[in-house]
Structure 1
């Protein structure tokens, strides 16, 4: 008997948690409460000496005082995970994320907590778990976790890609080779599994896990003697390695070494009381000894251990599923055995357990299920006579002789007929693959112009792509065949409306209504026509009449909202859209999109995000939904979350260059340049000469140092669009990358001449300022004379003063801005930073006021923490700066500030770690000189 899969949940969590290093020592959030701080510090000390239960108690005591303590939630999650409480750990980590922790701090343990609960698919689907933008060590750990989850879901190739990506980040680590060996075993590739295990051993000959993995491969290959030797080497290195001991016990059972097997099972239970696999081994040994009473008692113990665990937690733990299914079957409880055997069968469809499950199905008269299980099994094991007999019996009892299911693609491969192509095209269209759908629909319509459904769908696709003449040709062709078809007449009206043929559209809609007076789409078409022509009263009267007939009509509500906004009544538009959302079903997303967009136009960021979350719940994998949700996250300042959402959106988009360009712009705004480049390259794969995508990609290439490619692409854009300001602005980027500032200034002046704007002024200021600060200031002041309300240029002028150390002028400029924009957090924070240089006491006052207004803004927290430190408020400074560090571990300035506070608090080891990390992140950050000096004092 071979038992090797790591299935003890508490053990998995304990081992996994030990791989998560605390980056700098957990921290206390912004609540200024000394008692909570003491609970936290005591919990930290307990955690460090492995008193996990005590740490959990103290952390919960701290949360009794204030549930919003960010670092307490982080440490609690890690402690709960180590203690085997995966669901509670997930809650704690999610609370930490809500409070603003940087995802790099908790992503891996959060993923482990989800995997321990059987939430592999949810973990992989969430944009939060994208490795993009994470530190290399976290990326590697997350990629291996993703590989494990992908393997659980049967996505072997995806798992291998994840493993390879992790290995590229750390070629000397044995972990990726161990993971690859495990995956290859699952994929029934023992040769590759052994090669990977040997690579792991070569890298880490003293690692117990590497020896265990070699033994697992040997065990599967039937080499029990050498497998046992490998397990014993693992146990010599680590006597507490449960998997090696369980696997060796299985070999002892197979070799009839019952005493040795019993000893190993007993030791496993000593190390991990309640390990169900060890108890099942004891049941087997009791059965072999003929002690049926003890056998039943042990089987009952197994089910009593596993039954209370939700099956979702163990659905990817095949040994636990199998053990509990067999235990229930051995206790003559087939109905209780069924869910466990079914779950095991889904993950191991070629296992002989299929026959046992088929017997359960036949016993409950679910013969079709039995047939399905057996046919699937026999495709892999065609010579199993017992299974063949069972299958024949099942078929005869139902008088069935065959069952066949064919997918559209398979059918098309066998017989290329228009009906199948049309159905395939419609399926692709509904799945959002418009380019492939169009090809199939065009082919179907070409082969059979009587394919009405294919023709209408194709015309709709043409309209979406702005190909109005092609859509009109198809609509008219279909009408020649069915000249009184109201649906086709309405389609022609839609085409004419898009072509701005007002009379033609009216005629088509009215003819459709003559044929079918209650055709809603034709009535809405007439209302849209009236709005397009400016007949607002007529449109409102028509729509009101429609709503009297059906007050829940979504389309009428959408049209009413558009009409209200056209009339300048945006509050009324919001009410119409909210009604539409309330009436819409789970698949109807148009009102949600419209509401999100309206909130964005009104500048209502929190309302926009709330509406976007409702939309996301309806379609979490839809690219357009993800795009607008990412935009909402950006509008609310959550750049980290936006990055993950947007890369997920880009991966979902097929053949739509415009959509990818929009995503790339959002990714750039979120600071994810690698993600933006991916989106743009994908867009240009669809449309190679798309100037906006070319321009944006050229800019990113220049930023990445790829000057030759960036310049070539920029010159092509200028050739295609010489009279657009954006083309000259792009050439300025090229000149700057080449170090030719004068030429860059000339290009920016030309861009400003072509399209003068606040943005063109700011771009020219940025280039002028380093070489001629006076000229940059004069440019801004001249612009502001004619545009005194241009806040952006005023802000640029203030920032310039601060950059050049003219703090009195900067203070005056920021105070002027605050008079225009009272309560603006960013400007207030900048003012506090300026005051730190010239009036620290006033800086403390301003920073604390700003913190009260924006308690979760990491820049504000950092400023307030540093201001407290400089003003001698060291305890509060430490709490604030620890909180900022958890939110922004990638910021060297935050780490430097925290190090200074830690040193003041008597924690030199932590201070040294923070300083070293700060310098490693960016050796030339603003306070690098001071950081190095401080570090020297600690050596």
Structure 2
């Protein structure tokens, strides 16, 4: 009897302790839901001290440390896999996130496999698994994971965000917007979704809507760096470079290593004529993205303006040795030689810059980064890291058969990789198998349709004599990316070649505005002059022709166009003098 009375007396304190521990556990979960890892850690420690078993909180503690960026402590709670049965799925999911954060992709895949053992998984798990697959180059499998996430929960903000990001890559900007809008219906204050939505609106040319969304982001988080970065982009596009610089400074250096932000910073420094600073940021960008041609060209100009003519020659000299070197690069290196007083070296480059571009298909240059990749992975040339430089090396040497065998091997090893499909398409195109190239490019475009891939598809179509389909394909891309000046320029030239001048001229004039007034592109202004002349715009034709000729007086196309415009205006003597000059130009 006394023992029973003692037990009854002790029961209320025990219940109170258990209730307190459960309350602490729920506080920890709530803190995790709002992203406060530190508060979650404190609450979970109190729950543990109040008697909650370790297995009940291991997954949650791991998540709390992940939110704080403390991977070492997160691993201490997650690595052993000591989770209560009802926490097992979440625990291995958090372990997978940890492995992803530390770049251990194979270990992350193993953790996801354990998280999905015996259960269909949550939308959140499938989103993270999709992101892992995307990082690992399994692009088609990533799309499958995104669709599976939506089957688990069609209203999940992260699932809708991920699907929108894939739609943006594959289908275009306008196609992505409905996914983000649907996500915001269920989570209107979700900063990540708002950021993706604002960025996509801006790229699509909807500046007012973008500004409205970024202001909402700042209302929710007055120091949100992404909102200020997006506003900086908007200000730069509007030509207010001082405002753009001030807004970029408010990102608290959070975007210092983001490629798009580095490009923006480089352009802003160039606008301010801070050439040394521009060289510094653009050099870092060009080294991190060796295939970013715009960054490379901007860097070259900044280096030249900074007085680094010798460095320009050293860096871009190998490029001008190639048959497909762009007129811009040829002019850049020629100017560098002129700065150093070496006109003899500059002259042939200027002649080539004035010549019509080569229509042949030439493999892209390998470059320093590619050589380093081949050296670094020399013991395993089938690594994805070295695939692009290896294929370029083989094609440059004319080893199409060996390149084909190589990409076939890569395709078996990296099934589902859009990058390998594009490389395989390049090899097929180099081997003049346009039909196979188009098939491979089309497969890749299901998950990643960039302008460069679209242009590859157009090249494959044109090789088959399907020019009209090529124009339609490029036009469809431009509909989805309405602010892409490079796409407008390419389509404008194609329409002009087809004699569709009424369609060509608006595209080319839009491209000129998107390209900062056309820059120093003599062919663009010559083509605009031709278009204006054909519709009877004599004054506009003369202005365009003179601008193109002034940009590069040795350009045969620009010179012939100006002569034709002058003759049309009745200035036959001036036209004759220019025609005489063309006989001395390359191709005359």
Interval containing the TM-score (normalised by the shorter chain):
0.3 to 0.5
| TM-score, reference length from structure 2 | 0.48
> Taking structure 1 as the reference length, what is the TM-score of the superposition?
0.32
Which structure is richer in relative contact order (CA contacts within 8 A, separation 6 or more)? Answer: 2
Structure with higher Rg: it is 1
